[in-house]
Structure 1
């Protein structure tokens, strides 16, 4: 789910980050047994406090929303951005019970709906899991109940304690193979052809390398075409998995596999991914990761937007 506030602090001050990460991990273990309303209330408080203080991230979120929803009023955009801050912190604190709480909590608080039987089949699949704040809870619930062997791509965190914590959390249930983003495509394809399910989060700006520009809400967005590429090379189905935060916890919506996907047109396939992602964002815009600089990489000659 992008970087945590403490990971961002570690980048700004590595010495501070060394103790901040260990402190956060200990705190998350301590709060895991707390009732969900208490954790959600604490997340609401943290998000509300962070909204006026985190000027840089607030600016990024508002620029993203202005580009993607020019038809909205400025008041509406600020309301969604503020609520997105709150959802960010609520989901971050929810990792306490997802990764450290009793397994029954995940069974009680996370519902899996839709085409769940598609995840019980032996053939590999790429699970398209966009950056909605519930994606860690959704991934854990799927591994706990449906998938025997999975894999996920991760970026090494600068703080060693946070890096270990995140990898261990995502490997808590089932047989999950973590794949370092820096190792390239070959380990991913090998895992897919070996029958593993890939939990993929491709809807971020990873820079100009290997990216192509396709529309995202009508704005050219540098997008890595990893979804169609991995599906084609790994001979795997593509199954969207969208996790929504609810008052009772989360709902994981497993959609039907995309038929006729991928095609031989990588540009069209990647554009289709963004087009369908927009439909899910429109249904719950406050739960999407707007603090990421999605439009940082611009087409040649285009001015920066942040």
Structure 2
């Protein structure tokens, strides 16, 4: 996919409100990092009270995944999770607009040798990540020191799509955006020795998924990780990032590549991945994106745990 290019059509009046909002966000994000963390927590508090549907999704997910916790403990975790989501808004803007040097000072990176070793062998890498709230800034920080191609889905708003892609691409102009459905391009990248960011921790439906436990709950889990590794002749290298306490920045960890993967058994591989997902989330549950409907696809005869979405009225 070509790099983002500005078009005069993005100046159409229908985008003016978005440009105004982004301009205000750009101004706010020039504040010191510690102040942005505080503002983010405040935004997260508003999100908790005004995003009722997402709040209930997160609450149900926490009930399913942490039944051993008391209701009070889960509620405290839920509120902290929304604070993390609020901070993520400013982290996104930091990743897109902060000077590279200012951003780089926040990064503590461990395990980069695993990517260098794969590159030295000319072997592709499936950089297996998770949907933490720090996803955007973690990818930006890592992209400053190593070339990582990203899975990409075009945003419906063309102006936002441009800003998002431009903000991501500026850290490493050699990096490519690969459409999520473009498997052929992904295979070519892996076979040519490139690394691709990929997160297998969401519910992508029944197709190409198997049901294996996640926190003890049967979860539709994609088998694509095994397929990419096999067809792309690539290593699967786990990657996590964490927001450190006290405005210390971010810990990025590239873990050793999975051994004996894929095994040839999609069910066993999916279970292994979910066990890693569990372990990674358990280390920082407040920073995970619980607002996604992770358990929306259920085994036959099992009811969905979430309420039905309210239908949006179509514009005439």
TM-score, L = length of structure 1: 0.89
Which of residues 77, 89, 98 is equivalent to 1:80?
Answer: 77
**Which secondary structure does the structure 2 equivalent of 1:176 belong to?**
coil
The 10-residue stretch of structure 1 (53-62 or 245-254) with the greater mean CA deviation from structure 2: 245-254
Q: Which residue of 1 aligns with 2:112?
A: 116
Structure 1 unpaired stretches of 5+:
1-15
Q: Tell me the C-alpha RMSD between the 2 structures.
A: 1.7
Task: Give the gaps of 5 or more residues in structure 2.
Answer: 1-12, 307-316
Any idea what SS the aligned residue of 1:44 has? helix
SS in 2 for 1:152: strand
Which one has a larger percent helix, Structure 1 or Structure 2?
A: 1
**Do structure 1's residue 234 and structure 2's residue 232 form an aligned pair?**
yes
* Superposition deviation, residue 54 in structure 1: 1.2
2:175 pairs with 1:168: no
Q: Deviations for 1:234-290, whole angstroms, at most 9, x for unmatched residues?
A: 111111110001122211011111111111011110111010110111111000010
What is the match of residue 35 of structure 1? 32
- What's 1:204 paired with? 202
Contact 1:25-1:165 within 8 A present in 2 as well = no
Whole-angstrom CA distance in 2 between matches of 1:230 and 1:131: 19
Match in the other structure for 2:130:
130
**1:58 is aligned to 2:55:** yes
Q: Distance in 1 between matches of 2:35 and 2:77?
A: 23
CA–CA separation in structure 2 for the residues paired with 1:157 and 1:134: 20
**Quick one: distance in 2 between partners of 1:89 and 1:294?**
20
Q: Distance in 2 between the 1:227 and 1:152 partners? A: 15
CA contact (8 A) 2:203 2:221 kept: yes
Range 55-64 or range 224-233, more displaced: 224-233
3-state secondary structure, aligned to 1:92: helix
**Stretches (4+) displaced over 2 A:** 16-33
1:195 pairs with 178, 193, 196, which one?
A: 193
Q: 1:86 deviation in Å? A: 0.9
CA deviations over 1:66-98 (Å, ceiling 9, x no partner): 111111111111111111111111022112222
Give me the whole-angstrom Cα distance separating, in 1, the residues matched to 2:276 and 2:260. 15
Between the two proteins, the alignment pairs up a number of residues equal to 287
Asked if structure 1 preserves the Cα contact closer than 8 Å seen for 2:91 and 2:136, the reply is no
Cα pair 1:97 1:105 within 8 Å, conserved? no
Q: Do the aligned residues in 2 keep the contact of 1:170 with 1:176 (CA within 8 Å)?
A: no
Matches of 1:227 and 1:290, distance apart in 2: 22
Partner-residue secondary structure (3-state), 1:297? coil
Residues in 1 aligned to 2:17 and 2:289: alpha-carbon distance in whole angstroms: 23
Whether the 8 Å contact between 1:128 and 1:239 is mirrored in structure 2 is: yes
Offset at residue 204 of structure 1 (A): 0.6
Whole-Å separation in 2 of the counterparts to 1:164 and 1:254: 29
After TM superposition, give the deviation of residue 41 of structure 1 in Å. 1.1
> Does residue 1:158 correspond to 2:156, yes or no?
yes
Structure 1 residues 278-304: Cα deviation after superposition (integer angstroms, max 9, x where no partner): 011111100001000001111111111
Q: TM-score, normalised by structure 2?
A: 0.86
Asked whether the equivalents of residues 29 and 96 of structure 1 are also in contact (C-alpha less than 8 Å), the reply is yes
